[in-house]
Amino acid sequence: MAITFEKVNFSYGAGTTLARSILHDVTLQIATGQVTAIVGQTGSGKSTLIQHINGLLKPTSGRIIIDDFQLTASTKEKILVQLRKNVGIVFQFPENQLFANTVLEDVMYAPLNFGATKAEAKLAAEQALKRVGVSSELWYRSPFELSGGQMRRVAMAGALSSNPNVVIMDEPAAGLDPKGQAELLNLVQELKALGKTVVFISHQMDHVIAVADQVIVMQNGHVVAQESPKKLFNRDLSWFETMKLDLPKAGQLAEKLRKNGVFLSRRPLTLIELADLINKEVDHE
């Protein structure tokens, strides 16, 4: 499912004296089957942006086209169900989207809601829970007894259980331990291999370089860059300072080395690249 934003503006409290404008003339494209990372400072409009993809928020002006579905200010609430079936979303705080008595019931909710039978929903839920690594011992426990990392996985299974073509995740790695983060990156790659379109918000540039095909950079509600991670992370250092964005850790360390007289032939973006470049440099001497 290709996603296009055309001159999308969004204000909270539009038309009132309290209106606060969040998105400004956002125009962007997300290709089908690709992994897109959305980055930018806190408050830059990233979460607001992604909530438009499944119609949780509607644009104040402009339009969003998700395959053949068009979302505008006047889109009726009733027809949004078609869109939501195709777009699964995992919010920033997964606890907020859990509600059922057991983990399994929670994950079954979406398929049931979209018309599956109980048996179909159960099968879909079990598959989704296995995919995100929630062991079957936990399926009949209350989701509220779980640890933060486990809750994240259950919320993710809930978003996957209706087999959506688009999966949206708002900072899915935040709060996960290193092992959980590695598993999450694997899950993203697995979803891509299944032909799904994945959009995720991240502050971790190492995750962006690891899995994203495309990066969208937001600042103050504007899209200020939309390109491949490789191209983005080779921009001038001053640009990153202006945007208050980090380089991947390898790039950050390379910059510190440069300031101390150790010059590498190019900017490394991963640990392996950095190690290779340092080893070559030391070898030459």
Partner 1 sequence: MKHSIKRKNYDKIRVMNQAIKINNLKYNYDSEQTLFHDFNLEIESGQWVALVGHNGSGKSTLAKLILGLIESESGEISVFGEKLSIDTVHHVREQIGMVFQNPDNQFVGATVADDVAFGLENKQLPSSDMPQVIDEALTIVGMQDFKDREPHMLSGGQKQRVALASVLALQPKIIILDEATAMLDPDGRATIMKTLQNLKLKFGSELTLITITHDMDEAILADRVVVINDGQLILDGEPSDVFSQYDILRQNGLELPFVVELEAQLKPQPDGYLNERELIQWLSHLKK
**CB-wise, 39 or 121, nearer to partner 1?**
39
Q: Which of residues 145-174 bind partner 1 (CB under 8 A)?
A: 145, 147-150, 171, 174
Q: What are the residues facing 20 on neighbouring strands?
A: 12
Question: Helix 148-160 crosses helix 178-193 at what angle (to 10 degrees)?
Answer: 10
- In the complex, what is the shortest distance from the CB of residue 19 to partner 1, in angstroms, rounded to a whole number? 12
**CB-wise, 80 or 176, nearer to partner 1?**
176
b/e per residue, 18-37, with b = 16+ CB within 10 A? Answer: eeeebbeebebebeebbbbb
Judge contact between 18 and 173, C-beta under 8 A.
Answer: no
Mark whether 171 is an active-site residue: yes
Q: Among residues 11, 36, 47, 97, which is the contact residue for partner 1, using CB under 8 A?
A: 47
Residue 179 in contact with partner 1, rule: CB under 8 A: yes
- In the complex, what is the shortest distance from the CB of residue 186 to partner 1, in angstroms, rounded to a whole number? 15
- In the complex, what is the shortest distance from the CB of residue 150 to partner 1, in angstroms, rounded to a whole number? 7
Choose the stretch contacting partner 1; rule: CB under 8 A; options: 42-50, 107-115, 187-195, 219-227. 42-50
Active-site residue (options: 105, 171, 227, 281): 171
Count of residues touching partner 1 (by CB under 8 A) = 42
Q: How many CB atoms lie within 10 A of CB 178?
A: 8
**CB-wise, 69 or 93, nearer to partner 1?**
93
What amino acid occupies position 11?
S
Residue 64 in contact with partner 1, rule: CB under 8 A: no
- In the complex, what is the shortest distance from the CB of residue 246 to partner 1, in angstroms, rounded to a whole number? 5
First to last CA, the chain: 52
Residue 133 in contact with partner 1, rule: CB under 8 A: no
Q: Which residues contact 171 (CB under 8 A, 6 or more apart)?
A: 92, 200, 201, 202, 203
Going residue by residue from 211 to 240, which x/- string records binding to partner 1, judged by CB under 8 A? ------------------------------
Residues annotated catalytic, as ranges: 171
Site residues, partner 1 (CB under 8 A): 12, 20, 41-43, 47, 92-93, 95-96, 145, 147-150, 171, 174-180, 203, 244, 246, 249, 253, 256-257, 260-262, 271-272, 274-275, 278-279, 281-282, 285
